[in-house]
Structure 1
Amino acid sequence: MGKQPTNKNKGNIVGLFLMVLAAVITIIIAFPVTDGVRKYIKDNTKYIAGTYSAADKGFGGNVRATVVVGDNGIENISFEGKSETPDIGGAAIEKLNDKMKANLDTEFDSVSGATITSSGLKHALKKALLKAQGKEVKGERKPQSADIVVIGAGGAGMSAAIEAAQKGATNVVILEKMPITGGNSVRATGGLNASETQYQKRDGIEDSNELFYQDTMKGGKNLNDPELVRTLVENSASAVDWVNSIGGDLSVVGQFGGASVKRIHRPSDTSAVGPMLVKTLNAKLDELGVPVLLETKATKIFADKDGKITGVEAEDDNGVFVINTKVVVLATGGFGANPQMVAKYAPQLEGFITTNHVGATGDGIEMATELGAGLTDIEQIQTHPTVNPDTATMYTEGVRGNGAILVNDDGKRFVNELDTRDVVSAAIMAQQNGESWLVFDTAVRESLSAIEKYINEGIIVEANSIEELAQKTGVNEANFVATMQEYAAMQAVGKDSEFGRKSMEVPLTKPPYFAGKAKPAVHHTMGGVKINKETQVLKEDGSVIPGFFAAGEVVGGVHGANRLGGNAVTDIVVFGRIAGDSANKYVLDNGGNTERTITAQTEDANFVAKDIKTKLKDGSYKGSAKGFGGDIEVTFTVKKGIVNDLEISGPKETTEIGGKAINKIKKGMQKSGKFEVDNVSGASVTSKGITDAINNAKLQ
């Protein structure tokens, strides 16, 4: 055992301490820390290249400082504080940002009248600088790194990540703000337009890239970027083959509006293309081991003094963090679900319903313009002509392509149903109440399985005769009967003498008959970020932003003033793949690939199920309610206030939306211990169906 110090030893220790303290004080007095000394320390502090961000308490909430370090030291310092009062804290932040642009400095004086905000910014900057030196900061997350960051897990983003990985990229990560992948892509109902494909040749369909190009330019009123359209059509056949090569199914060719020939490629079971495509892409990402960080929203993209991409700021349930990266692929989709943004660029569409998922809010466009990206065709917003006004369910163009017609309340046709979307939408809006009826028979129903979803959803009227259908829908019976007879006669001779419709697949004479109410809704935002054919993001002057690529609906120029049905899926696959390939080439030219450092936690990571508590009486319960694709059923037992054997089933819900929502809701109950439905963003109809089914549950 060691000896305890004696009183004599204690005295010696105290004396020694006092001598050292006196010496230190003497040195400080003799050699004060002058401005020159401070400058020497500041100039010789070593920082590690990358982007570093940290937060601290401001006046209204957290304020944030971001430091960008290049090979030669600090290149940029910026501040933000979204919760600060605009006229005081906000003005102070703007003033300090201007000061940093004029004279970059790691120290600054507080802004008069905004001392609390200034103090928070100083502390935030200090933390960010410490992180830039490789030091740990308590309460702050370390920066992560990746070679390629894809923002958005829709069709374009997932295609880009897969293509990059297939070409050799080893450190790719996808950020997705929603709880599920798919974006608007999972809602696509039609198919993928492609020319000169093996399936067209099999069916004897004569098509060419030139004809596809001409149709697309005509549909877009020649506002399209010709170079991008050439790229689209020339890579369309390989897009079909690529989807099929990774496990997809695009082998049936059909007719769609605006196309001169049958060109749209669909699944062999004629189901909606979106769920099939997203399921295929998800499976391939899993196979390649590409991490997808769900419920992780990108909030800012960083660049160095030369405009070269250096990082991404993102936010998840654990707070804000930064990923240092060489490349960003922007695939955040359009802004069709942002009514303010829609009204800003197209005031005539204010108040329109939308077919878009709730995450299509234009975040990517805003992040891109902050970096100086140019925009093109931003005011060009397309409406889809046939959307149910009560549920916002979009009837695929395939219903009309396979033979359905449109009639008004007077029981008469009023347009060539296969004209371009803008023409058909305008014709419907010109009718009484701006609505129409989509009418088809059993032959059309049997030709397209996607119709079953509409019937299961309860938005289709069914009748055994034309007269009965007129009575149920309220259209003029005499006119409607005459319209159907005239259409059958025209179909028999192969000529639509009223509106010039070229494709008349069936005479619409096979009962039962069906009708669904339809009106236009905001569907696709054609405008967006400027790119070239390599998907490099361009500034207004046409110069390239190094390391920045974009694909999908966030991009403008591909579709011009009007997008043809089936071209969106072509767009996301063709340009998504090009973006992935271009991103990988850029990485190889700028230091090469690195090992993956980011992993996505599985849903079961750290999961501990709790007892789900309820006030219901003991016993077995069963309830059902209407979901998105059909009925949702809930069964469970209750014993001593605890829910057991909980089963939620919705066999007709889409796998990639409703199916995932069901699993997420059940797991949410097990995590919280509450018998309550936590609404899943992007699957609100399914979520409500589960809530209603639980509320409807009765003791058996």
Structure 2
Amino acid sequence: MGQLKNGTYQVSTKGFKGNIDLAITIKNEQIAKIDILKEEETPNIGGKALTALVQTAQGRNNFSVDGISGASYTSKAFNQALTLAKIAAQDEKQEATLTLNDGQYTTTVNSFQEHEGLPGIGKMTMLATFKNNKITDIEVPEYTDTNIMGGMAFDILAKKAIAKQSTDLDVVTGASVSSNAFRQALDNCILQAGGQPEIFAARKIKQRTPIVENLNTDIVVIGAGMAGLCAAIEATDQGAKVLICEAQEINGSSSTRSEGFVMGAGTKEQAKHGIEDTTDAFFEDIYSLYKDEPTIDTKLMRKLTHDSTDLNNFLMENGVTWSGVTHVSEKGVRNLKRAHTTAGLGAELIENLVQSAQEKGVDLRYGLAVDRLITLNGQVQGVVARNKLGDTLIIHASSVIVAAGSYTENPEMLKELNPRMNNIEVITGRGNGSAMRFFKQAGAQIVDVPYIQMMYYFYGASWGDRFPEAIPGSPTLPNYDVLEVDGGGRRVASEDDFCFEYTKRVWDGGYNEGYAIFGQVTADKYPEMTDLGLTTKTAQGKPFGYCEDSIKALATDVGIDPQTLEATVARYNELCEKGVDEDFHKNSANMIKITAPYYLVRLPQICTDGYTGAKINENAQVLDEDNQVIKGLYACGSCADSQMTGINYFGCGTSLLTCGVYGRAAAKDAVSRL
């Protein structure tokens, strides 16, 4: 190995979110200085780690540093950058000495997996084949992510790695965890074959010169989730030419990550199970929960419920198969079984709709992000979009249907629109706020909702592959064997009622978290839940739970009035001894007396999509500040449901119902104006 030449070497590697570009100065065989030219890591995780790694590496002659816990991908990318700088500074060319042992190699690495709609750690297994110093085949036979997210990402990356013989692979938009798992696995296989991953990473994939292209279509749909796909299929069925611009390279919408429930009344599936229901009854039930919300539009609500039957038929006609119909709660107006379920959850639902759309001729383009609307004389007439190659597409159309999701992946916009959402533990919703940008450009009227779709329940972003036996406050895996109190220490709802009843009361009380209280009997029954509470911290850095010998000490731990909490627990224990919940009518089987030692776990804000969005009419036409229609502009889905929802959310499947009904409404009106 030759000596290292003094100089500054610009290198680029792939971090967790995107490129990490560094200028590394080498002098007298040492790393003299490192400048960060560009990085796209998560500020409080990868960004913070990168700064620390730079400080550690400077002044050393060792071109490798220890990784930082919790930022493994950033750490690995940084060490790869050091190696690339060292290779560049050496006299001989490393590429000439590259050798790989022929054969097939396998590895299993951590990847993405959902648990009850929440992000967790799963696995993926790769088989990589090398021959004559080349990557000849890559298979991913087993993985825990969905086919239309992780599966699509693995296929994209495998084709690119083989074609370019490089691991200089960009993260597939919408599948960052699975993309990083793929890169890690391929590096492992290269090492097993006796090769150097850094040499493959140094082979930069050259992009062709971007082009500008003009296209013409009848209708542009922005977004390929439930709303966008329903709109595109409906418009195509009626004879329109439709182009979907999907910014992500995979089917990564909130719809895909959902439970796949779709609410509906008077459906064939209900009749098959002997369930009698009407759309009028559906309206009365959902309106009873939402009627006090200041943004509710009764006409939109009536259309939502009335059209639920037809939407259900439409979905079945387009390949969706129901695995059953259920209720989201055994109590109150949610007791009637209206939630139509799919065996493969939201991923299966969207996969079926994608297949139907493509078979019917919808031009679905992944990785095509809309920059702005085209407007002329107050009318929207298309979009300007850009793909992953940097090409600019000017797409002319008679109308544009915005179904681009909400804004919960945009921290700055979320903070601006919903300042009370200040104790968020996890956000599973998608949408970077682009829809809000389009609405602003067009002069749309925005309906402000102070909260986003959220619940207060026990789940931690840092838990990885650990998962509790049951979750206090969860809509899908609830734990009823606890006492739930609001941020002031008061019991406000039955623990076995649907979680949004509790959420509404905690929110209305002005609190950003609630608490679950239990004793040793419950702690012994749920050891994993208890241990997670006592050994982990929230995203805000607070202990997730406490164990104390007195209720007073628990109250002190979380800063609530001890007398209030003591009185709440005393009353609850009194009801447990009676065997009857006289206050909130909880099932007696779950009334377990709380005895020392006492436990408390935090219930932070667990969130999906934002509600603030465009004001629309019954045709999903976007309205301006004077309540006049903005010609050629429609909106549906999470970017336009603020007039049809409430803090006491009706239940899983209501949002997808909104997407489907108003996606189709937009399409029907747009086609009628061609």
TM-score of the two chains, using structure 1 as the length reference = 0.51
For residue 242 of structure 1, the aligned residue among 314, 333, 353 is 314
1:519 matches 2:592: no
Cα distance, 1:498–1:404 mapped onto 2, change above 3 Å: same
Alignment-derived partner of residue 261 in structure 2 = 191
User: Following superposition, which runs of at least 4 residues in structure 1 exceed 6 angstroms of deviation?
Assistant: 392-395, 408-413, 428-433, 458-461, 475-489
1:578 matches 2:650: no
Q: Deviations over 1:382-411 (max 9, x none)?
A: 3222351335999851334x9676546999
Alignment-derived partner of residue 277 in structure 1 = 349
Alignment-derived partner of residue 155 in structure 1 = 226
Q: Distance in 1 between matches of 2:589 and 2:277?
A: 23
1:298 matches 2:370: yes
Deviation at 1:554, TM superposition (A): 0.5
Deviation at 1:500, TM superposition (A): 3.5
Alignment-derived partner of residue 335 in structure 2 = 261
For residue 623 of structure 2, the aligned residue among 538, 548, 560 is 538
- Letter in structure 2 aligned against 1:219: L
Aligned counterparts, 1:167-566, within 5 A: 167-169=238-240, 171-189=241-259, 191-220=261-290, 221-223=292-294, 224-245=296-317, 246-249=319-322, 251-256=324-329, 259-267=333-341, 269=343, 273-305=345-377, 307-319=378-390, 320-357=392-429, 359-386=430-457, 388-391=459-462, 397-400=475-478, 407=484, 415-417=493-495, 418=497, 421=500, 423-424=502-503, 426-427=505-506, 434-437=513-516, 474=547, 496-501=581-586, 504=587, 518-555=603-640, 556-560=642-646, 562-566=648-652
Which has more radius of gyration? Answer: 1
Cα distance, 1:143–1:505 mapped onto 2, change above 3 Å: farther
Cα distance, 1:484–1:477 mapped onto 2, change above 3 Å: farther
Q: Distance in 2 between matches of 1:574 and 1:459?
A: 41
Deviation at 1:331, TM superposition (A): 0.2
Q: Distance in 1 between matches of 2:434 and 2:646?
A: 21
Deviation at 1:161, TM superposition (A): 1.0
Deviation at 1:477, TM superposition (A): 11
Cα distance, 1:438–1:528 mapped onto 2, change above 3 Å: farther
Q: Distance in 2 between matches of 1:406 and 1:275?
A: 34
- Letter in structure 1 aligned against 2:314: W
Q: Deviations over 1:79-138 (max 9, x none)?
A: xxxxxxxxxxxxxxxxxxxxxxxxxxxxxxxxxxxxxxxxxxxxxxxxxxxxxxxxxxx9
Q: Distance in 2 between matches of 1:203 and 1:281?
A: 25
Aligned counterparts, 1:627-638, within 5 A: none
Deviation at 1:318, TM superposition (A): 2.4
Q: Is the 8 A contact 2:581 2:588 kept in 1?
A: no
Give the unaligned 5+ runs of structure 1.
1-137, 440-454, 462-471, 510-514, 591-700
Q: Distance in 2 between matches of 1:182 and 1:506?
A: 40
Deviation at 1:259, TM superposition (A): 3.2
Aligned residue pairs total: 413
Deviation at 1:435, TM superposition (A): 4.7
Q: Distance in 2 between matches of 1:376 and 1:242?
A: 29
Deviation at 1:415, TM superposition (A): 2.6
Q: Deviations over 1:156-198 (max 9, x none)?
A: 11111112222222x2111111222241112222722222334
Q: Distance in 2 between matches of 1:249 and 1:183?
A: 20
Q: Deviations over 1:552-572 (max 9, x none)?
A: 010031215553223112111
Q: Is the 8 A contact 1:425 1:519 kept in 2?
A: no
Q: Deviations over 1:19-43 (max 9, x none)?
A: xxxxxxxxxxxxxxxxxxxxxxxxx
Cα distance, 1:161–1:207 mapped onto 2, change above 3 Å: same
- Letter in structure 2 aligned against 1:540: E
Q: What SS does the aligned partner of 2:251 have? A: coil
Q: Deviations over 1:455-510 (max 9, x none)?
A: 99x9799xxxxxxxxxx9848899999979967985xxxx7423245xx597599x
Deviation at 1:234, TM superposition (A): 0.5
Q: Distance in 2 between matches of 1:562 and 1:168?
A: 40
- Letter in structure 2 aligned against 1:388: Y
Q: Deviations over 1:319-363 (max 9, x none)?
A: 222111111110011112222222222222235244234x42221
Deviation at 1:517, TM superposition (A): 6.8
- Letter in structure 2 aligned against 1:187: R
- Letter in structure 2 aligned against 1:541: D
Deviation at 1:423, TM superposition (A): 4.0
Q: Distance in 2 between matches of 1:477 and 1:235?
A: 54
Q: Is the 8 A contact 1:191 1:569 kept in 2?
A: yes
Cα distance, 1:545–1:431 mapped onto 2, change above 3 Å: closer
Q: Deviations over 1:426-478 (max 9, x none)?
A: 53998999354599xxxxxxxxxxxxxxx99x9799xxxxxxxxxx9848899
Q: Is the 8 A contact 1:199 1:253 kept in 2?
A: no
Deviation at 1:253, TM superposition (A): 1.7
Q: What SS does the aligned partner of 2:394 have? A: strand
Deviation at 1:298, TM superposition (A): 0.6
Q: Is the 8 A contact 1:356 1:523 kept in 2?
A: yes
Q: Is the 8 A contact 1:156 1:572 kept in 2?
A: yes
Alignment-derived partner of residue 643 in structure 1 = none
Q: Is the 8 A contact 1:252 1:268 kept in 2?
A: no
Q: Distance in 1 between matches of 2:659 and 2:615?
A: 15
Deviation at 1:425, TM superposition (A): 5.8
Q: Deviations over 1:253-306 (max 9, x none)?
A: 22338734324424365x6x322322222222232232322222111011111x
TM-score of the two chains, using structure 2 as the length reference = 0.53
